[in-house]
Chains A and B, each alone.
Chain A
């Protein structure tokens, strides 16, 4: 999977080192989640607020110890990065510096701490890929294309929280073949086309698996002009 030891941080540790078992790794985390996620998410949001408002180093260290291993795993999972542990540590630092400088813009009413952090990590990954491939000066910053600010129009906080817990509940119950696609697109940073090639599946199958997964997470699908392409 990567050139470094990645550890399965699940309660049930019988998973072997194949993609399939990595994917079933979603499941065991559930018991843990049932016990403490509601509280935990809240406390990470509070830490972010403390970092933003009071430059709280203790909160920052706590936040780092909890999330840095996940972010490092995120970078090491990415396709084609083939990076060393030291390079991944560098990127972890880059993400955490963003956390430190941008935390004052974090609004706990609009996003869970992990969602906000995900956008920071994602943009850092995009930054790095763009640094590697650009051939001359670049007009646009990554943030110009992938904004990390949340939607401004007020979504009722209660509704937002309900949707968040709905998605979180649904994701652990997805069948493995759907989790696999979600995993490849989000963690490995691959497109449907690449996923289809790798899995030796028709593109339409890959696309519909993702759609089924999203439907289970109650994400309403906007009708678009090119719906037909999902059958190709």
Chain B
């Protein structure tokens, strides 16, 4: 049962296409788990359609545009159907990553070339290349029973639990749960004792560890949008 959802403002930005790509990726992966938000999305898209249909702003389209479009349809039909695209997801060799949202599986790639980088004893991070420059997208793995140093957030941080679970002062987060941390929010997550927790994380500015050891670590943490 999913308890933590994107707020309705974030969902609306996603439905309208005004939310940036990296954050949208997180919302999209949440949809995979959450029937309720898929329903909201339908309604929010219906609003988009209604506004489009209200003809508030229309611009004349010359009839030559339709003519050339019809020409393009002719050209398309005279060509043989392109072979259907190979669907590559689903063949992930790492069984630990089975059952993930297709968009994440595709991002990880078939060769599963995740490069896990050990940041602390219990936290590993693997960068994901998403072809945008606004935010850093990565998978975070907290080892079973492991704790992450207390940290705050200089920019917005979106987190989606993919596997396992983790907790912080405010609650327990299970697969599909979506968290948005604002700049200045401080928390100290720890994974459930019995299994690793894997999260999709989008950081719009780097996380800063607080406390003495955290301050020592900070120089190693840089934002790598990709």
Contacts and interface: CB of A to CB of B under 8 A. Distances in A.
Nearest to B23: A191
B55 A70 contact: yes
Contact of B66 (A65, A140, A223): A65
B217 interface: no
Contacts of B8: 210-211, 214, 219, 221-222, 224
Interface stretch (B56-64, B195-203, B205-213): B56-64
Contacts of A111: 42, 45-46, 49
B18 interface: yes
SS class, residues of chain A in contact with chain B: helix
B6 A219 contact: no
B7 A115 contact: no
A182 B47 contact: yes
28 contacts: A4-B59, A6-B57, A25-B57, A60-B73, A64-B69, A70-B58, A73-B55, A76-B57, A77-B57, A111-B49, A115-B49, A126-B17, A133-B132, A133-B133, A137-B131, A139-B109, A140-B131, A145-B24, A145-B25, A151-B42, A171-B47, A183-B56, A186-B18, A186-B48, A189-B16, A214-B12, A222-B40, A226-B180
A168 B48 CA distance: 11
Interface string B79-101: 00000000000000000000000
A82 B58 CA distance: 16
A70 B56 CA distance: 8
A85 B58 CA distance: 12
Interface of B: 4-9, 12-14, 16-19, 21, 24-25, 28, 31, 35-62, 65-66, 68-70, 72-73, 102-103, 106-107, 109, 129-133, 170-171, 178-182
Interface string A46-75: 000000000001001100110111111110
Contacts of B16: 122, 185-186, 189
A103 interface: no
B59 A7 contact: yes
A5 interface: yes
A173 interface: no
A47 B116 CA distance: 51
Interface in A150-189: 150-151, 153, 155, 163-164, 167-168, 171-172, 182-183, 185-189
Contacts of B36: 222
A186 B49 CA distance: 10
Contacts of A163: 43, 46
Contacts of A85: 59
Interface string A87-103: 01100110011001000
A70 B65 contact: no
A137 B226 CA distance: 10
